Chain A
Amino acid sequence: MTDHEAAAHSAGPAPLDRFVRLCVPLTGFTAYELRSTGMAQLYFDTAGREIGHRSLDAFLGVWEEAHQGGLGPSRLPALERELARALIYLWYTGAFPRIAPAAHAELRRDRPNQEFVASPESYPEGLVWRAFGGHPAGAKPPGFGTWGDEPPVLPTEAELAARIAAEDAGPGGAVAYDAGSYGSAGESGGSTPAHLLPGPRSSRAVSPSAVPPASSHPVRETSPEAGE
């Protein structure tokens, strides 16, 4: 990308607006919530730098089309699916993750495939803490004895989807939430499948995004990928 393109990428509110708008269905948080972290610009810049501005633009295009078509991230082609995960991880933790080596190679990134924290301010703004109704370790302390309180009742998946749909309603109306293509297991929850849980961190030096899952992903009979 030329300097001119780079300038165009970060100039003006429109690209940033689009970035935030497209991150809403990815994260499950409303645009207002995303904006209120104060991190939107930083994450947009970080993602552009990490995966390349052109690749980021291309990804946003593919994702926008899928989303408009009513499809969730699990229907994206492999590379885009991994980029969607990377962006979500950035929003949820304040850190850019280590991504699947295959995706790293395909992007021909000029930087090491290593997790790093975007800034000291981004860590406490991670959405993961809000996802379970907590607060970041080492910031925003809730007060003496509050750890004895019952954990809050969290919004259900359907409520979250409805909230986002209401905000998303463009001229063509809201995009329906296709739970299956967001990986939903239905509301009942129950015990989490092992392949979606972290396994042990084999040493403290392993960054969180490099911790392998507790078991391998089940082998799929048919590829879910729309583009293939």
Chain B
Amino acid sequence: MSVHTTGAAVDGRHYDAIVVGSGWAGSLVARHLGRKNWRVLVLEAGNGGTDNWVDYQDSVRTFSSAVAKVPNSAYRPNRAAPSPDVLDLSPGGPGNPDGYRATGHFLQTGPLPYGTDYLRALGGAGMHWLGAVPRMFPEDFSTRTAYHYGLDWPLGAADLEQHLRDAEHLLGTAGESREQHRLGTVPADHEYPMEQIPPSYQDKVFHKKLDTRTVVDKVAGNREYRLQVYGLPQARNSTPNAAYPTADGSTYKPRGAVGVPNFGERCVGNASCVPVCPVQAKSSPLRLQQDFTGTVEIATRCVVSRVLPGRGNTVRGVEFREYGDPATPASRAYRAEADVVVLAAHAIENAVLLLASHMANSSGNVGKHLMDHPTLLAWAETPPEMPVGPYRGPGHTSGLECFRTAEGRRQRAPFRVEIGNWGWGWATGAPMSSVSGMLGLGGDSDGEVNPDGRYGPALRSALGSHLNRQVQLQIAVEQHADPANRVTIDPSRHRDAMGNPRPIIHYDLAKHVRDGMYAARLAALEIFKLLGATDRSSYGAQADGSYPLGHYRHSPDGVLEELDLVYHGAGHGAGTHVMGAERATSVVDTYQRTHDHPNLFAVGCGSMPSVGTSNPTLTMAALALRSAERIHRDLAELHQPVTVAGPRAARTQEVAQ
């Protein structure tokens, strides 16, 4: 159990380590250091509370009441530590096809919108994430060398293998190792702690219709791709895998809900993993916080505003402001000191903190290389005799992996085809918008009442049949590190209510990415054809002349027909303090230690030089564990007495085993 404290109580105190942020990254680091007996202070900007059953239910109710069930809809707004929200963005309106309007936490200046959110609350974005944890392919770590785009990592997949396994253990992962090994993402001796989450009925339909069929990619030199449906590794509770090796030889025990015993140890199919799993079968950082030893203190509602410089090029601690009421940003400033400071505040907020502190930026690369997985949605209706039964189970349980690797990457960005289990929800707001559509509700473009519609038995039957036939592909395209995509700050002009600088985001999609999305669109059409489904995707001008948010037109070579395309943000913010061997071109080293300050670490997806086509959190978690071990060694060295062995050294020895 973690020890809760307050900002006022820790003012002026000294810790072995301060961790900024309680998401996956911060929780993994704090947990590890606590178990090594170090005194750790976790400062969390957002509200706490979800770590008890009653308040967790409040999140579920908040979700139920929300009209737009977006990722942040289960969590209350917080003026003191604002979060970006997908609701902050709207399209440019008629006559401005690629334009957009942005309000909220981000100030956006780029040609295209950055449509990704995160959550500033206890547990961070790990509260509303989906829990997809596919591994990156080994080749994803060196796209520059292999395919001449993006940035290479200073490490390879093999260097991370043990930490990836530890992360899969701590996140509580369900998957099918044999299949993943065939795919090329895990070694032959790999096991997941839990058996694969059962595939959806829809996945089985896809298997039957698509496996062994081929799709030609016109963008990648007419290369032929052989389709095969693969299960998705997920941080979601399933049946324990009897073959999974544990330290004491016992069977892996799934970890369930926080604050109630024996609950949530299996996914029961609530089908609302984003934004909130009512039973907590989806893994969240709250679980790790339950493991915090007594030496880890956590203070919520404490927003770190800057890192304090120490002697030489070291750092001394942090300055932060504690607030009482999230609605009024009245707050007090405090300081805490530590031998090591770890920023784990999310890629974008880490960059803001480094920039605001004027630290770690000798390379000029802090904030640069902002990435995401721009996602194309494609949706279709299957024939009446072939229902797929959406709106059941976790958000997605299978995908098509063939477009993710190999030579095609040279010509266009690779992409992963997620087979969505929640109908047309993301693209159209279904099933609610399907009800209004089928009714003809809401009027025409002049606001007049529509003539057509279905009612009563005709409505119930047509809607029931149609909803069971909604297919949606979510195609996540790799975005490589591009220095032009960046986070900056302008503290003299743009601050939030508490006075901290707002992130200024400049974002665009490079040609390689646009080409990848174009290829993804063509692949979706081929997949729908093989399924016998009618494509219903629409990316161009709508009835009122406006274009959907994230619209652009593109032809890869000027010869292929120009198409309207639309991308969505995936929530995978990355790349703002990239890792590298060269201090001139990167911000952190392979331990996520800033090149410029030996006791300042920046952990999280911000360190990743590339994200491949995998959801980033698993790789990021492996990096966080690697950093935690390094920090433990640093602290142990620091506290090693030179002459006599004092009590402290004895402790260090004991925990180092």
Contacts and interface: CB of A to CB of B under 8 A. Distances in A.
Interface of A: 25-29, 72-74, 78-79, 81-82, 84-86, 88-89, 92-93, 95, 97-103, 105, 115-117, 119-121, 123-124, 126-129, 131-135, 137-139, 141-151, 154-158, 160-161, 164, 177, 179, 182-185, 187-218, 220, 224
A83 to B, nearest CB: 10
B181 to A, nearest CB: 23
A117 B266 CA distance: 30
Nearest to B377: A200
A134 B439 contact: no
Contact of B467 (A132, A205, A208): A132
| A contact face: mostly helix, strand, loop, or mixed | loop
A18 B622 CA distance: 62
B546 interface: yes
B646 interface: no
B439 A85 contact: yes
A187 B62 CA distance: 39
A205 B454 contact: no
A129 B468 CA distance: 10
Contact of A200 (B66, B427, B448): B427
A192 B466 contact: yes
Contact of B68 (A27, A182, A199, A204): A204
A129 B536 CA distance: 22
Contact of B433 (A121, A205, A209, A224): A209
Interface string B480-506: 000000000000000000000000000
Interface in B521-549: 534, 536-539, 542-544, 546-549
A211 B428 contact: yes
Contacts of A92: 435, 463
A18 B457 CA distance: 19
Query: Which range holds the interface residue count of chain B?
Result: 35 or more
A161 to B, nearest CB: 4
A203 B383 CA distance: 28
A50 to B, nearest CB: 14
A182 B518 CA distance: 41
Contacts of A73: 453, 455-456
B585 interface: no
A28 B451 contact: no
B444 A217 contact: yes
Contacts of A105: 447
B104 to A, nearest CB: 11
Interface stretch (B32-40, B118-126, B193-201, B332-340): B193-201
Given A131-B467, A214-B536, A206 B457 contact: no
A137 B449 contact: no
Nearest to B392: A147
Contacts of A149: 201, 389
Nearest to B385: A189
Interface centre among A133, A179, A185, by most B CB within 10 Å?
A: A133
Given A128-B463, A182-B457, A191-B381, A197 B437 contact: yes
